[in-house]
Amino acid sequence: MIRSLRQLSREMLGLNRRNHDLITRYNPRALFQIVDHKVKTKAALAALNLPVAETLAVYRVHREIVDFAWQSRGWPEFVIKPAQGAGGEGILSIVEQQTGKFITTDERRLSSRDIERHIADILSGVYSLNQRYDEALVEARIKPHPSLARVSFRGLPDLRVIVFRGIPLMAMLRVATRASRGRANLHAGGIGIGVDLQTGTTTYAFAGESSITEQLDTGIPLCGVRLPSWKELLTVATRCADAVALEYLGVDLTLDESGKPLVLELNARPGLSIQLANRRGLRPLIEEVERREPRNLTVHERVRLGQSLAEEGSEDHFRYC
């Protein structure tokens, strides 16, 4: 029997409980500077040989922007990100260069001067968390795996995995729409899709406040899609908890066109919409991990524990849309 909405609401992790019971207790604030800064995050991940996108350049001061014109000649496709940005704001994805113009994911044609101004805005802190000084990170553009690309309207789909005390607990695929202009972020108009932690199969999708079954722009079915390299994705997400000493962590990954997992970023304050995408709350899972106090487990054992916890009681939830 599907559990009642009242019972489900009791299992949902709310904002206050997340902030006070999890972030305050388990995430030392001094370590936020690592996950809140994409360049520092990549350094921490690289120390454990975790896979990330290739870094093409980092702009730290305005005088370095004059180098962009000649540097970009060797970058057929690239992405510019604010190092301290959040929610996908300020990210500019270039998919092609044509006769001195840079073509974006949403088919805008920008000049070199346009992009230089965008980098200047990033350095001025327009998109940063504290709206102060920032750095601009340029990475090689990742081409998504065909199985992910087909459910997204342009842009790069990503997988959000919640990892608590080194145990993966819940996963959600986020895909772009025409309205989100190539960004997979939910607040920008992207779609959230729950993923069965056992099988890597998509289960339930929503956009805004509405449940959906098809991609809004293409009509492609969103549920019952099996994600490739699932075990490897969960393994990489779990290992990210070893790269930073944060016990409540959101890990964002994707699969490149060859099926290789790549870590996009880490989040010390992951949002709670992942519960809506999975139609179940995080609280029972978190409480079970706290009760068991898992220690000295291998990465494989931590992945298996997360999958077994997710499977317990799963018959009480909607499994597919």
Say what the pLDDT of residue 321 is: 57
Give the pair of three-digit tokens for residue 117. Answer: 């101004």
**Residues in the chain, total:** 321
Q: What is the pTM of this model?
A: 0.93
Contacts of 82 (CB under 8 A, 6+ apart): 38, 89, 90, 91, 122, 126, 127, 128, 134, 135, 136, 137
What is the Cα–Cα distance from 231 to 233, expressed in whole angstroms? 5
Residues 6+ apart with CB under 8 A from 265: 35, 38, 41, 252
Instruction: State phi, psi for 229 to the nearest 5 degrees.
Output: 55, 35
Domains and CATH numbers, the chain: 5-37+47-51+144-316 (3.30.470.20), 55-140 (3.30.1490)
Tens of pLDDT along the chain (321 residues)? Answer: 345 566 777 899 999 989 998 999 999 999 999 999 999 999 999 999 999 999 999 999 999 999 999 999 999 999 999 999 988 899 999 999 998 899 998 889 999 999 999 999 999 999 997 778 899 999 999 999 999 999 999 889 999 999 999 999 999 999 999 988 888 889 889 999 999 999 999 999 999 989 999 999 999 999 999 999 999 999 999 999 999 999 999 999 999 999 999 999 999 999 999 999 999 999 999 999 999 988 899 999 999 999 999 998 665 554 555
Q: For residue 47, what are its two tokens?
A: 């120390």
**pLDDT score recorded for residue 318:** 47
The DSSP result for 248-259, as a single string, is: EEEEEEEEBTTS
The token duo for 207 is: 């956009």
- Residue 239 sits at φ, ψ, to 5 deg, of -65, -25
Tokens of 115: 């992009």
